[in-house]
Amino acid sequence: MLEKSFLNLDDTIASISTAWGEAGIAIVRLSGPQALDIAEKAFRGIKPLKDTPPRYMRNGFLLDERGAPIDEVLGVWFRAPKSYTGEDVVEIHCHGGLLVASKCLELLTAQGARLAEPGEFTQRAFLNGRIDLTQAEAVLGVIRAKSDEALLSAARTLRGELSARVNGIYDSLLNISATLEANLDFPEEDIPYLSQDDLFQSLKAIALNLQDVIYRCKVGKALRDGIKVAIVGRPNVGKSSIFNALLEETRAIVTPIPGTTRDIIEGSIVHRGIPIIFMDTAGLRATDDLVETIGVSMAQKALREADLRLWIIDGSEQLTKEEIDMAMELKNHSHIVAINKADIPQVISLEDVKQMLPESEIMVLSSYDKEAIGELKERIVKKLFKDSAINEGFNATARQIETLKSVLSCVENSISSLASGEPQDLVASNLLEARYYIDRLLGRNFDEDLIHLIFSQFCVGK
């Protein structure tokens, strides 16, 4: 459970909001009902901050406990509700030394401010109605973005585009629910009747809308968190060489000795805005070597859990029984097949593999061919994302995606109930549950454990 202070909006909180270390400027931020009064005790300018218009910088000095100046600073304040938190906010911009920022924070807490918890400034913005919960979580997406595309995805959610789509779905569900409930409770009244066909078509449209939102959220999550690609295959087919080529650096040891790779080695790149985490795994084979057996077990786990499997085949050798078995297993997983060692005579053709895996994407390459490796990166991205999807993603967390899936499940249950001729009150019950999940997604219905889980991931000062 949260400590009481984490949800206490009567406190005035303070924190260093810039990164720790030496820099040109450090910003110490105050938020709460006593922000101005506390700041005035540590700041001295030509005029007091309270006599300075909001959003105007005032030059002055930071005063120690004895009233002696210890730094020349800038002070600025923001009047509630037009501030980041929706409360009165004061910022003191001091020089970015390790000591002076800490001393400024110490002086403010000595005057009655409380040290902020991680994410408490953004949490107050949410509790004060400045932003909803999806926008609050998007702040963390902006901070952690690793590419321009991830940053734009987070900005879309922060601007409220995801909220607008979800609120539109909520309103549609509410309108349907209101008509259903009225028809059920007041059948004798002259209320517009919603036919089974109209209801079915409306719910189908909502389901399609939800599927699109969920897909765009998955794209946004991938832009932020990355996708995992397991490089699998039997020993000595060139997995580590492909791994090194994809990373454009030597990370894995490459030798002609089968079983060289025994542990999972990870390396990441950003391609077309998407972080891709490649996992070089141990060769899949039966072995009596204890250490290699552990490595093979880890490789099988990576194969099951990865977002995509890159199956490497040695094109210069015939397929083994184990590889044929592997082909059958891969049918149930998203994958790409790479026939490696195209720089030497081949005994396996693309058509040979196509006979085993007619629906699979297959390419022939060599780890030495930079153009082919570039094409492989493109195919990995296109395998998981539509061409336009990268520019349309919503920054989303696993929690948000699972909640949206719950909404979709409720709508699909309503459609199934209609199709099987079940009473409309069951449909109404499913739609009520769907609206509950949307309220939870947007933060209109929450508990302290949920708030703690979300905002504890933030840094102190944000």
**286/296 Cα distance (integer angstroms):** 8
Is 341 annotated among the ligand-binding residues? Answer: yes
Contact status, residue 311 vs residue 233, Cβ threshold 8 Å: yes
Q: What's CA 150's distance to the chain center, in Å? A: 9
Give the contacts of 332 (CB within 8 A, at least 6 positions apart): none
Dihedral angle, C-alpha 308, 312, 315, 318, nearest 10 °:
-110
**Rounded Cα distance, 249 and 247, in Å:** 5
Beta bridge partners of 25: 95
Q: Is residue 239 marked as binding?
A: yes
Instruction: In whole angstroms, give the CA distance from residue 99 to residue 389.
Output: 47
Any binding-site annotation on 156? no
The amino acid sitting at 252 is: A
Establish whether 332 is an annotated binding residue: no
The tokens describing 254, both together, are: 């490459």
Q: Using CA atoms, how far apart are residues 403 and 49, in angstroms rounded to an integer?
A: 45
Confirm or deny that 134 is annotated as ligand binding.
Answer: no
As a whole number of angstroms, the distance between CA 229 and CA 264 comes to 12
Find out whether 342 is annotated in a ligand binding site.
yes
Consult the annotation and say whether 258 binds a ligand: yes
Q: How far apart are CA 65 and CA 116, in angstroms?
A: 22
The CA angle 354-355-356, to the nearest 5 degrees, is 90
280 belongs to an annotated ligand binding site: yes
Residue 259 labelled as part of a binding site: yes
- Strands 13-16 and 308-314, by their bridges, are unpaired
Question: Is 283 one of the annotated binding-site residues?
Answer: yes
Q: Is 261 annotated as a binding residue?
A: yes
The tokens describing 154, both together, are 């987070």
What is the widest separation between alpha-carbon atoms in the chain?
85
Is 413 annotated as belonging to a binding site?
A: no
Q: Could you tell me the CA-to-CA distances from 159 to 217, 258, 459 in Å, in that order?
A: 15, 53, 21
To the question of whether residue 122 is assigned a binding role by annotation, the answer is: no
236 is in an annotated binding site: yes
382 Cβ contact partners less than 8 Å away, ≥ 6 residues apart: none
Both structure tokens of 445: 């219905």
DSSP 104: H
343 is in an annotated binding site: yes
Residue 351: count other Cβ atoms within 10 Å of its Cβ: 8
- Tokens representing 223 are 């832009």
Is 255 annotated to bind a ligand? Reply is: yes
The answer to whether the annotation marks 130 as part of a ligand binding site is: yes
- From 122, 150, 149, select the one nearest 135 (Cα to Cα): 122
369 is in an annotated binding site: no
Residue in the block written with tokens 């810039």: 18
248 marked ligand binding residue? no
Q: Is 398 annotated as a binding residue?
A: no
Report how far residue 276's alpha carbon sits from residue 306's, in angstroms, rounded to the nearest whole number: 11
Tokens encoding 22: 């030496």
Binding site for Mg(2+): what residues are annotated?
A: 240, 261
Binding site for (6S)-5-formyl-5,6,7,8-tetrahydrofolate: what residues are annotated?
A: 29, 91, 130, 462
Binding site for K(+): what residues are annotated?
A: 236, 255, 257, 260
Binding site: what residues are annotated?
A: 29, 91, 130, 236-241, 255-261, 280-283, 340-343, 462
Binding site for GTP: what residues are annotated?
A: 236-241, 255-261, 280-283, 340-343
